[in-house]
Amino acid sequence: MVAPKITPPKSLLIDIQAWQAEVMALPAPAIACGALLLLKAHCWRIGPIPDDDVALARITATSPAEWKKVRKAIEPLFVVKHGEWMRQDWVDELEASYQAVSKARQKSMKGHAARWGGRASGDASGNASGSASGMPAGMLNIKAPLDQQPQPKTKGPKPRANDVQPEFLGDVELAERALGIGGAA
């Protein structure tokens, strides 16, 4: 039987106070901090850190000359044996992360089983408990047949600027009569 593939965690756990205390005690703390962070990410995402200067320079995004200086500063933080760099605290954090993910997954499966009663499969249509036929058409975004749909009101051509509107003329005649001016007076 083949062991299932385990997806590495997508986020690192960092105790900020401990990290700062550890890094600030090193020479060139900015470079050491970046190198340690990249090494930790490599350890969590890919696996063991190889004891190979070319690979370590690539992992830490440093030049070979920079890596030689950084290595002297950070190597004492690791156990280097069997061709690998290892830190037990990083291994413990990674294991705790896997356990937390596994625990959350188990809780999720338990909640799923409680909600769906074990009858849910990968087929969503088999999980439906109701029918859409009892829902109003507006909720289903179903349009009525064309003969039952409201028709837009048709309008005549838009009046032009010099066109005189009949209702306007009636208003003008009333105003002229009231003032005693114009042709109707």
- Stretch 147-167: mean pLDDT: 70
> Greater confidence, 150 or 51?
51
Question: Given this model, what pLDDT does residue 117 score?
Answer: 76
| Residues 88-100 pLDDT 10s | 888 888 888 888 8
Among 47-51, 97-101, 105-109, where is mean pLDDT lowest?
Answer: 97-101
Q: What percentage of the chain carries pLDDT values higher than 90? A: 19
Task: Report the first-to-last Cα separation within the chain, whole angstroms.
Answer: 109
Give the model's confidence band at 138: pLDDT under 50 very low, under 70 low, under 90 confident, else very high: low
Give the model's confidence band at 59: pLDDT under 50 very low, under 70 low, under 90 confident, else very high: very high
Q: What percentage of the chain carries pLDDT values higher than 70? A: 72
Query: Cα–Cα distance between 94 and 178 in angstroms, integer?
Result: 94
- Stretch 43-70: mean pLDDT: 92
Question: Given this model, what pLDDT does residue 31 score?
Answer: 86
> Greater confidence, 16 or 64?
64
Domain 16-91: assigned CATH number: 1.10.10
User: Rounded to two decimals, what is the model's pTM?
Assistant: 0.53
